[in-house]
């Protein structure tokens, strides 16, 4: 039996790291939930790093546009990772360092082009955001299925941010293509 009110109360106070009751007594479901968290955390840190690198190498006429997007998304992705780590700790999972990112990632990391081509940086980031949107939809659906509504709320908030990022990058791509 699930204690949904516990999950909701704890999820509303992410800075507290009290361990809440497990969202599921089914060991297979619990491991899958933890896997979703590990993957999401790795993907968020790698996305942040990719955005920082894109910011560092961007060049050309659209450099300022790309730098603005990269900088804001960099901080948002770090914020997502922090929230996911806090929730992971709340449900009794363990955090991990950069040495595990490649092992856990689903979205991966795309090195920005050395020439700083803003259109290519934008296209690469669109692909990454599409993967994030797809994954967070899957994650939210699973958390809902097992009755972990605190995680559902968290993941749906992150999903909304990722959909916004995707839209912003698609608008940038359109702008770059229309100008050429």
pLDDT in tens, 4-21: 333 333 444 444 434 445
CATH among 3.20.20.150, 1.10.1040.10, 3.100.10.20, 1.20.1260.10 for 4-179: 1.20.1260.10
More confident residue, 21 or 51: 51
Which of 111, 128, 107, 126 lies closest to 54, judged by CA?
A: 111
Q: In the structure encoding, which two tokens stand for residue 58, read together?
A: 């961007």
pLDDT in tens, 73-96: 999 999 999 999 999 999 999 999
User: What's residue 21's pLDDT?
Assistant: 52
Mean per-residue pLDDT for 126-155? 97
Strands of 36-134 (E only): list them: none
3-state secondary structure 59-84: ECCCHHHHHHHHHHHHHHHHHHHHHH
* Amino acid 23: pLDDT: 62
- Delimit the domains of the chain by residue range: 4-179
pLDDT of residue 179: 74
Greater confidence (153 vs 13) lies with 153
Determine contact, residues 92/24, Cβ cutoff 8 Å: no
- Stretch 21-42: mean pLDDT: 87
- CA–chain centroid gap for 112, Å, is 19
């Amino acid at each position: 039996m699930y204690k949904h009110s516990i999950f909701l109360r704890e999820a509303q106070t992410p800075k507290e790291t009290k361990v809440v009751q497990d969202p599921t007594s089914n060991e297979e479901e619990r491991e899958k939930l933890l896997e979703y968290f590990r993957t999401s955390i790795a993907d968020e840190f790698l996305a942040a790093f990719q955005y920082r690198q894109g910011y560092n190498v961007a060049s050309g006429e659209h450099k300022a546009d790309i730098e603005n997007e990269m900088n804001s998304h960099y901080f948002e992705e770090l914020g997502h990772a922090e929230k996911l780590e806090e929730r992971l700790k709340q449900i009794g999972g363990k955090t991990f360092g950069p040495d595990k990112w490649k092992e856990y990632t689903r979205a991966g990391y795309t090195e920005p082009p050395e020439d700083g081509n803003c259109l290519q940086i934008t296209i690469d980031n669109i692909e990454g955001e599409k993967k994030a949107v797809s994954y967070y939809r899957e994650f939210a659906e699973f958390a809902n299925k097992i009755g972990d509504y605190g995680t559902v709320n968290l993941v749906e908030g992150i999903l909304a941010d990722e959909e916004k990022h995707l839209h912003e990058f698609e608008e940038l791509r359109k702008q770059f293509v229309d100008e050429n």
